[in-house]
Amino acid sequence: MVESITIIILVVTMTFIFLRTKRRTYALSTASLAVIPLVNLLYKLVIERFAETAKEPLAVFSIVIFIGLIVSCLLLGLSANSIQSKRSRIFMLVMSGVFNAALGILFIWGEI
């Protein structure tokens, strides 16, 4: 839970800096990096109590993280349209996608 809060604080700080420098497209794409930590935090604070009654709580957690990955990818796709340079757009999509996927895998791995 501490790692999620730390990542959220870092991402919000980066987003705020981009907004202050009037780079809204970068701010939106950076904000999408906070989705997976937010989903993990939401799970730990709220959903975990209900998931414990399920037969497979790890499966519930995996599904919640997967839904977070889908939302994050949708936000990345929407924010990528506003970046004019094709090279920058591809770089942003690949790096953000790898970050989100790795973070999701690490959160699931931590639950095992």
- Walk along the chain (112 residues) and give the pLDDT tens digit of each residue: 788 888 899 999 988 998 898 887 778 888 888 899 999 888 888 876 776 676 777 777 888 889 999 998 888 888 888 778 888 888 888 888 898 889 888 888 887 7
The two three-digit tokens of residue 20, written as one number: 């202050």
Query: What residues contact 78, with CB distance under 8 A and at least 6 apart?
Result: 28
Domain boundaries, the chain: 2-111
pLDDT single digits (tens) 72-97: 888 888 888 877 888 888 888 888 88
- Report the C-alpha gap between 54 and 36 in whole angstroms: 22
User: pTM surpassing 0.85?
Assistant: no
